[in-house]
Amino acid sequence: MSTASNIARRLLEVGAVKLAPQSPFTWASGLSSPIYCDNRVLLSYPEIRSEVIDGLKELTPQFGEFYGIAGVATAGIPHGALLADRLGLPFVYIRSKAKEHGRQNQIEGRVEPGKKYLVVEDLISTGGSALKAIDALKAAGGDVAGAVAIFSYEFPAAVRAFEQADVPLATISSYSTLLDEAVKQNHISNAEADALGNWKEDPRAWSESFKAGA
């Protein structure tokens, strides 16, 4: 079994990913979504946690040499820290915005100017949080080797956003792989998988269609 398939299977196994095509979840944006993903659940399972770090490590050679790891707050912090420890590299983490007290830091840890960092996020949806963190890292003088994550919804808009930012992106597993595993494990039917496949191409249209038919 490939690493991508194994991690997808693990996500389903511990309930870190839930698929509900008939009773979608509602995102903060108001969109209806047939999937809910919370990779933080994986931290409670040492064996799976180790497999995730192995998977992230497998992705790193494609980015060439880099100096350190930068975790995106909050869910990217633990996985980033574990990866940095596995690789024996410096680690920093990046908040969505600067603190309003103390030293008012947005980045915790020491960013070495001109040095390349690999950015770690847990989940790529639109890519907005990771790219915002990358902007903050560059503003602090750091350089970016690329970004990695555990899972991606594979939204075309996110792919374009990373391409436009000229930031290489790699994820351990993906929405398409997850659907394949979900069918194999009888979480969903083939027909449901086909319908769910349409969601990632245009989540807003899928949401509006579901609400119209509800």
User: Annotated binding site for orotate, which residues?
Assistant: 125
Which residues line the annotated binding site for 5-phospho-alpha-D-ribose 1-diphosphate?
95, 99, 101, 121-129
Q: What does DSSP say about strands 25-26 and 32-33: parallel, antiparallel, or unpaired? A: antiparallel
Distance CA 121, CA 117 (A): 13
DSSP 64: -
CA 1 to chain centre: 21
For residue 16, give every residue at least 6 positions away whose Cβ sits within 8 Å of its Cβ, in sequence order, or none: 10, 37, 38, 39, 40, 41, 42
Contact assessment for residue 49 and residue 82, using Cβ atoms and an 8 Å cutoff: yes
Q: How many CB atoms lie within 10 A of CB 81?
A: 18
What distance in Å separates the CA atoms of residue 126 and residue 153, rounded to the nearest whole number?
Answer: 8
Give me the helix-helix angle, 76-87 and 46-59, nearest 10°: 70
Binding annotation:
95, 99, 101, 121-129
